[in-house]
Amino acid sequence: MAHGAAKRIALQNEQALRNLRLGMFIPTILSVFFRLLFRRSSLPPSKGSLAIYFVTYLPALFLSRYLERMGTTRRDPTTGALISPGEDLNQPGVTEWCFDILYVTWACQIGSGAFGDWFWWFYLIIPSYAGYKLWSNFIGPMLGRKRQEKLRKRSERGDPRVRSLRK
């Protein structure tokens, strides 16, 4: 059964990596196409527009290479037998976030070509979501614990501001 799961993961990873490779150049082609079709007056792109594109392309390139290294299957060169399926690229957590960052980057590339450079403001979704996750998973619970500790100490002292659930 474990060998069947390894084959399934290997097939899923190979498909995901094919899509990832396509996703690294198709948004660029679509951006140029939409710029030619809808925004011919913005050709050639400004230096600022190109700078934003390359600054956001670098993390996408880094993340795609990371996911490729992580998810690449290893096979025996002579028999083609599966040696290692690679890490599961469908797992939640960091892998999922890497794909999310790639998707937002690709959407911004295409959107900037079709609608204008203002579309890059949607790229702020990434740090906003990171801040939300940081607050909800680390900072918020730490502050909540401190508040609960203060309320417990007040309750032990018999402070009238704290209602006790015991009767």
What whole-number distance in Å separates Cα of residue 68 and Cα of residue 12? 13
In this predicted structure, what is the pLDDT of residue 79?
86
More confident residue, 159 or 92: 92
DSSP string, 44-113: SPPHHHHHHHHHHHHHHHHHHHHHHHHH--EE-TTT--EEE--S-TT-SSHHHHHHHHHHHHHHHHHHHH
DSSP string, 108-161: HHHHHHHH-GGGGGGGGHHHHHHHHHHIIIIIHHHHHHHHHHHHHHHHHHT-TT
Average pLDDT (63-71) is 94
In this predicted structure, what is the pLDDT of residue 167?
47
What whole-number distance in Å separates Cα of residue 68 and Cα of residue 18? 10
154 phi and psi, to 5 degrees? -65, -40
Average pLDDT (151-158) is 80
pLDDT digits (tens, 9 = 90+) for 120-146: 999 999 999 999 988 888 887 777 677
Question: In sequence order, what are the residues at sequence separation of 6 or more whose Cβ sits closer than 8 angstroms to the Cβ of residue 162?
Answer: 151, 154, 155
* 71 touches 17 (CB < 8 A): yes
More confident residue, 5 or 96: 96
pLDDT at 85 over 90: no
Share of the chain above pLDDT 70, in %: 94
pLDDT digits (tens, 9 = 90+) for 12-40: 989 999 999 999 999 999 998 998 898 87
